[in-house]
Amino acid sequence: MRRINITIEIEDSNELEYALELELKETFGSSIINYTRLPDDKQLYLTDHKYRECCMRVKAANRAKYEYFDKNRTDEKR
């Protein structure tokens, strides 16, 4: 099994988001495991150093998680 995570940035439009969601459901159906609308945090990231530090910690934690997974995976796809 393979999982793919994609982040898509679109204009702020409910109609466009709905059309995208319908297209994804039509194409991938029950294969969609998670669909999340992310907040627009650009301004907060630029102006709040504590928030930026939190984002950097999350990024580092994700990197460590995937590095650990790659080193300890049991399948033959290394």
pLDDT in tens, the chain (78 residues): 888 999 999 999 999 999 999 999 999 999 999 999 999 999 999 999 999 999 999 999 999 999 999 999 887 665
Which pLDDT does position 77 carry in this prediction? 64
| 32 contacts 25 by C-beta, under 8 angstroms | yes
Instruction: Give the alpha-carbon dihedral of 38, 5, 67, 62, to 10 degrees.
Output: 10
Q: Cβ of 49: how many Cβ atoms within 10 Å?
A: 9
CB atoms < 10 A from the CB of 55, how many?
14
| CB of 33 closer than 8 Å to CB of 3 | yes
User: For residue 65, what pLDDT is reported?
Assistant: 97
pTM equals 0.69
pLDDT at 58: 97
